[in-house]
Structures are given as C-alpha cells and as structure tokens.
Structure 1
Amino acid sequence: MPKRIAIIGAGIGGLTLAIDLQRKGLDVRIYEQTPVLKEVGAAVALSANATRFYMDRFGMAAQLGDKWAEVDGLIFRDGRTGEQISRLSSREEYRRRYGAPYAGIHRADLQAVLFGALDPASLHLSKRMTGIDDAGPAARLTFADGDEAEADLVIGADGARSLTRRLLLGYDDARYSGCTAARGIVAPELLPSLPDPEAIQFWMGPGGHLLHYPIGNGDQNFFLVKRESVPWAEKGWVVPAEDKKHIEPFAHWAPAVVEMISAVPVHEQWALFYRPPLTRWSQGRVTLLGDAAHATVPHHGQGANQSIEDAIVLSDLLSGSTDWDRARTEYEERRRFRTRKVVDASVTVGEMLHLPDGARAQERNARLAAPGAFDRHLDWIHAFRADDQVPASPAVAT
C-alpha cells in the first residue's frame, strides 16, 4: 500500500509541497480549515530563491507572468523627506544575476495558480484539524466536523499560528517583536505623488517604516510598520483598527507616504510575532514546514519564500528515499541554519529601519548607499538555491 502524506494547510508552502510530491507520484492529501481557498493577507513579494522553482521546475512562467509585477529595483528612502538614500539593482540586472524574477503578486492570485497545478481531488476544505493521535500504526487526524483521516506522514504547513506546532510543543511559543502593522492595496490613480512605482521601496524613519511594491494589476501593496512602546502579547495577533489611527504617527512624513496610507480604509492592526528556533522540527510521524517551523517578521519579505524553499527540499528528500525518517532528519539539517539566519536577520532589519536620528542612522544610510550594498546585505538570501542543497543522487545520504 503506498505511503500516505497529509498536509495541514493550503497556504503557499503546503500547496507547493503538494504539487511537487504529486508530480513525483506520491499520495498526498491537503486538509484546509477554510471553506473557500482564500489566502489571508494582501500580497507577497517573491524573490529569485523561490520564483526560480515556479518558473523552471513547475513551468508556470505564463500563468504567473500575467498575475505578478516584476519589481524594478529596491529603493530605500528617508520617510519624512522622501530623499532617495539608495537604489539597489534593477529589473534587468536582477534577472541577469539570479536567472529568475523578483515580483509582487496578490496572494489569492498565486494560490489560484498553484491550485490549478494540484490534483483537485486531493484538497479537502472545511477541515479544521483538532488533534493528532500518533500512537497507532498510522497517524490519525481528527477534525472539527467529526471526520477523521489517517496518514503515514503528517506535514504541518498551517502557518505562523500553527496548531500542529502547538500540539508538538504542548504550548504556544510566539514572541512579540515590538511592532504592529497596517496593510492595504491602493490603485495607482490614487498615488499621484509616488516616485518609482515599479520598485519595491522602504521609507524609513524613527520608530517605523513603510514598505510597498506593485502587484500584477498595477496596484501598490503597502505594509506600514510602527514600533510600539507598550506590551502587546495579550491583545492577540490581529485586532480591530481605530479609524485612521494608523495615520497619526506618520502624518508628518513625505506626501507620498501620507497619500498611500490614507488612500484606503484600514480595518485591522497586525501584531508582528515570530517563533524561536526549535531543536527538532519532527516528532513521531509529524513534521513542520514554513511558518509553522520558523515564523519570522516580514522585514526581509522572506516568509513565503522560505516556505517554498522548505517545500522543495522536503519534496526532493522524501521522493528520493524509502527511509522517510532519515529524509526528515536530513531536511531539518539542511534547513535549520538557513531559516534561523533569516529569522534573526529579519528582526535585526526592523531595528535598522527604525533607528532614531543621529550617528547610527547616518551610518546606516552610508552603508546602504555604498557600492556593493546588495552583495553585502542581500545576496545571501536571493542567490540561494534550495535544490542545490539536496544530493543529485535519488538516494538520501546515510
């Protein structure tokens, strides 16, 4: 009887893993708690360390090219004056260097393209997992609607607020980063003052920053981050936002910033949490993937990209060996240092973007403007090839 794989969560990482495993002939079922396949959040920026797999391995260039916007460089600005501090790379240079695009896409559009490559019979919606019993000959999953399912391997790809992780640990280990965020999508005609609309841009200032980038239809996806001075953990991950309250700390910033964050209503405030590193990502027949294993703050824009890297490595290892215990150990060994470094760097970047006026902020600006800034600060993320981390032989090394 073929081994059965259950993936908990139909987000970007779970769908990517399922598609690749199914292409290799494995029996995969996905269990998603929502009744409709709808990704939370607004948009996502995908860098070459992830897009290369959708382009080359999955052959999705045509489908995604209609949905995403290739960003034309990375720009850092002073949030209050609008002065350009640094412009790193360009659309053409980035493609030439990494062989794949850096692009913004609405999460729902990306998810729809991925779903189109999936065996639709393998996706089970309205399946909110409530428990895992791993004591018998197979792992038994229970769901809120009373259904049950069995699997020989369970992959927890259920996001930053993963129930799978909480069941493995026995507690919730989320850490508050000290920041909250507001987000929105704005049509270009509402942004007459915006310079360089085709670039991904950081507008920096004491205690906060604005990140934005274009998506496929020309809209701008923005993420406005504010450093808080009071504890937050007991309030929850997402709370209702007071009308226009998010604008107040940035009301004196550059006109293009105020224009963007005032253009659409903001109904929710997001607390930015991350997860401490785990000693092990697996227990029994259960393994974690993506945010469930290493949730991070979004200041490097790597949450979805790291989930895609995880999926590629885990798929290659599982499909290349009959010893799945060894394959999962290898997966953790190959991914642990990389993801820990991304989490640590993302937290640090938040602090760097929010420096108060003074010598340290001036030093930051000089480093960003100096030749070779992309190489020093970002190349290690974008040049990484997850498939190079797996041996060319179909067998996993023992």
Structure 2
Amino acid sequence: MIGSRVAVVGGGIGGLAAAAFLHRGGVRSVVFEQAAELTEVGAGLVLAPNAVRLLRRIGVMDRLVGRAVPLDVGWEFRRWEDGQVLSAEDLAESCQQLYGERTYTVHRADLAQAIASAVPPGSLRLGKRCTSVEVFADAALLSFADGTSAEADVVVGADGVHSTVRGAVTEPVPPTYSGVCAFRGIVPTDRAPGFARRRAQTLWIGPAHHLVHYPISGGAAINLVAFAPAGDYAVESWSATASGAEFLAEFTGWDPRLRELILGVGTPGRWALLDRAPLRGWSAGPVTLLGDAAHPMFPFFAQGAAQSIEDAAVLARCLARAPSSPADALRRYESLRIGRTTRLQEVSHARAHVNHLPDGPEQEARDAALAQADPLVANGWIYAYDAEDEEIPSV
C-alpha cells in the first residue's frame, strides 16, 4: 500500500506540483528539497493553456492574480536587424476562444510560491539534499547529505537535469555539447524601453542568435533570455554569471533598441544548453522521474514547466487509481507521458536551427512561412491537451 510514504525529491515547480496534485487525489507525500529556503531562483516562464487549466484546478491561478501577466500578443517574431514584425499572435481573445484559457507569463518564484500554498503544511522538508537512492523490491531508502535517511514506498525524482534519483532507474548518459548558451536577466520596467513593456512575448531572431522578452511580476519587470553560440562555454548552472559587456557583444549590429534593454540587466546569468537524448523509460519498481529529471528539453517551445505540471497531474491520478500497486501505477504514468514529452523534446531541439538561420534564401523562406503561419493553431496539439482527460487503465 502507498500509505503516507511517497517521497518527492526536489521542491521546484514539478516537485511541488506533484505534492499538490497528490494531495488533491488523497495521496499523502513529503517533498525533500536541498535548499534551506525557497528563494527567488530562476527568472520568468510562460504558462500556456495546457498548464493553466491544470493549475486552476488546484487553486493556483487564483493565487497568482496580480502577479501573472495575461499576454495580449504572443509568438511575436521580429527580424534581428531592424525589428520588423514577421509574425504575431493575438492572445487576448483567440487563445481563450481556442483553448478555454489565456496564456500568462510569470516569475518562477511567484509560481513556486503559489503552488506551495496548495501543498499541505508540514509536507515540505528543506535542507535535504538527496545523495543516494537504494531500491528494494517494493520500497526505497533515501540518504541525505545531513546524515539522515528516509524510507518510502514510492520515490518521485523531481530533482532536475542533474538528478540523483535518475541513477536508480537508468544508466547515466553524459550530455552532449549543443553549441548554444543562454544569457538571462530581469530588467525593472522603469529601466526598460517602451516596446518591451507591452503585454507581449517577443522573439528577435537572427544569425546564430535569438532573444526573447516579456513582462513578469505583475508588469513590474521584464524577463529577458537570449541564446548565442557557446564557444567553449559548458557550465550548466542557474548560478553562473557573465558580464554585461559579454552579453551586449553577442548582439552587436542588432536593432539598436535592444542595447537599452540588455544594459538594464546588470549582471546576467549564463548557462550552457547541454543536449540530452530522450530516455526510453524513466520508471523502475517504486521509483519514477518527473519534469527535467525525466525529459529535459530546450526552452524554445516554452514547455519545460508545463510538462512538469502535466507529469504531476497524471502521476497523481495513476497513484490514486492504484494505491495497492504503486509499481504498476508508475509504469502507467510513464506510458501515458513518454510519447508526448519525447515529441516536445524533439521539436524544441529542432527549433534552434530554424531561429538561428543566417541571412540568405533559407532565412527568407522561413520569414515568409512565419508571415503565413498561425502557431497558435498549429500548436494545438500542445495547448488543447488536458492531462486529466487521459484514460488510465485499471491495474
């Protein structure tokens, strides 16, 4: 029986969402998070309808009123050199009409805090860095850096791209060099140029680079993330930084309006995008993976957090449906999720090439296609999906 011993390793968005959905389904869990406190780690993210509809069901969207920004315009592609708009989507009305929800942008910390409020008090243990997972026939033992340990009937590894739990379910496969790195930062709105203050998600695309910005924190700040050739840079960490001069130099020759936006960042973060092939499976006995631990993906479709939330919803339903057979429930969870997440990993990977085409006939063909495209409709397979509509077979 599952009882009260479901251990979720990792207190990020995916781990907290797992605990919240498990609680809603009547399954008790404990989240073990290595940080001593939940702080403002990370920056902004996009909440598309497939995530929003799930978050609304656990009360999270109500808690984000005033902090999440409903977008009026999305997937606004601009030409790198002069800012010419190549394509843009009306999200103020069309998104709601098509998918029953708006698209929002939000600071990662605001979202984590809101999801945490849907987790029962006492279910979050901070300062618990998992160092190993020992798996038995129908249980597992977690060991932590502080010398303590915990037994669990089910272990959910929501511990990110550098997952410790992943080693309990699959052989380690080293990531490969992608050749791309990302710069990120947050600009206070009063220091941002007017074009960046709109309720819009804008992507400037050009040779070997692209840059994305949108408002967060109720419009008080602008989230900025940009992608460039990595050179020999291979550090994959949220805490690594670059200089403002390095960031600015990558966009020399681009529309001069971007200079003001980039200078507003101060000290930007910088991390390498390392490439990981989709896993063939991520569950073994009483242990499974969720979110980036299972299916890390490039951020070019803005679906990383959304897929973690979808995972959480499906996992909770599977475990609630089969409380006496957790290993079977985890296999069903994996089978329901792996096809969709693999497809998103693959299309996100391919998007880097499309965004970074050099000037020339291929880029001109891309721009012409963007002008005629409707990504809001074309990506309906992403946004219309409801993770709680999945039929879960009986054990």
For 1:109 and 1:130, the matched residues in 2 are separated by 28
Aligned: 1:328 with 2:330: yes
- Cα shift at 1:267: 4.3
Correspondence list, 1:77-156, <5 A: 77-135=78-136, 138-156=139-157
Aligned: 1:342 with 2:344: yes
1:375 aligns to what? Answer: 377
For 2:373 and 2:146, the matched residues in 1 are separated by 58
Q: State the one-letter code of the partner of 1:190.
A: R
For 1:274 and 1:152, the matched residues in 2 are separated by 32
Helix, strand or coil at the partner of 1:77? strand
Q: Is the 8 A contact 2:181 2:233 kept in 1?
A: no
2:43 aligns to what? Answer: 42
For 2:137 and 2:87, the matched residues in 1 are separated by 58
Q: State the one-letter code of the partner of 1:58.
A: I
- Cα shift at 1:39: 5.2
Instruction: Map Cα deviations across residues 281-337 of structure 1 (whole Å, 9 max, x no partner).
Output: 112321000100000111111110010011111111111123222221111111111
Correspondence list, 1:233-252, <5 A: 233=234, 235-237=235-237, 239-252=240-253
1:59 aligns to what? Answer: 59
Which ranges of structure 2 fall in alignment gaps of 5 or more residues? Answer: none
For 1:13 and 1:355, the matched residues in 2 are separated by 33
Helix, strand or coil at the partner of 2:249? helix
2:224 aligns to what? Answer: 222
TM superposition score normalised by structure 1: 0.93
For 1:243 and 1:76, the matched residues in 2 are separated by 24
- Cα shift at 1:142: 0.6
Q: State the one-letter code of the partner of 1:67.
A: R
TM superposition score normalised by structure 2: 0.93
2:73 aligns to what? Answer: 73
Correspondence list, 1:243-262, <5 A: 243-262=244-263
Between 169-178 and 141-150, the greater mean CA deviation after superposition: 169-178
Instruction: Map Cα deviations across residues 230-263 of structure 1 (whole Å, 9 max, x no partner).
Output: 3444x45464413421110212211332221111
For 2:138 and 2:321, the matched residues in 1 are separated by 23
- Cα shift at 1:103: 0.7
2:394 aligns to what? Answer: 397
- Cα shift at 1:167: 4.4
Helix, strand or coil at the partner of 1:158? coil
1:282 aligns to what? Answer: 283
1:301 aligns to what? Answer: 302
Q: Is the 8 A contact 2:193 2:261 kept in 1?
A: no
- Cα shift at 1:118: 1.1
Instruction: Map Cα deviations across residues 24-68 of structure 1 (whole Å, 9 max, x no partner).
Output: 22120100000001252111111101011111x113332112210
For 1:135 and 1:259, the matched residues in 2 are separated by 57
For 2:268 and 2:90, the matched residues in 1 are separated by 35
Helix, strand or coil at the partner of 2:82? coil
Which ranges of structure 1 fall in alignment gaps of 5 or more residues? Answer: none
For 1:182 and 1:328, the matched residues in 2 are separated by 36
Helix, strand or coil at the partner of 1:327? helix
- Cα shift at 1:172: 4.7
Q: State the one-letter code of the partner of 1:397.
A: S
Between 117-126 and 39-48, the greater mean CA deviation after superposition: 39-48
Instruction: Map Cα deviations across residues 197-217 of structure 1 (whole Å, 9 max, x no partner).
Output: 211010000010101111133
Aligned residues: 390
Between 289-298 and 241-250, the greater mean CA deviation after superposition: 241-250
Q: Is the 8 A contact 1:281 1:287 kept in 2?
A: yes
- 267 and 195 in structure 1: CA distance in 2 versus 1, 3 angstrom threshold: closer
Q: State the one-letter code of the partner of 1:37.
A: L
For 2:90 and 2:167, the matched residues in 1 are separated by 41
- Cα shift at 1:390: 3.0
- Cα shift at 1:170: 4.5
Q: State the one-letter code of the partner of 1:262.
A: L
Between 118-127 and 317-326, the greater mean CA deviation after superposition: 317-326
Helix, strand or coil at the partner of 1:244? helix
1:180 aligns to what? Answer: 181
2:208 aligns to what? Answer: 207
Aligned: 1:362 with 2:364: yes
| Overall identity of the aligned pairs, in % | 38
Q: State the one-letter code of the partner of 2:291.
A: G
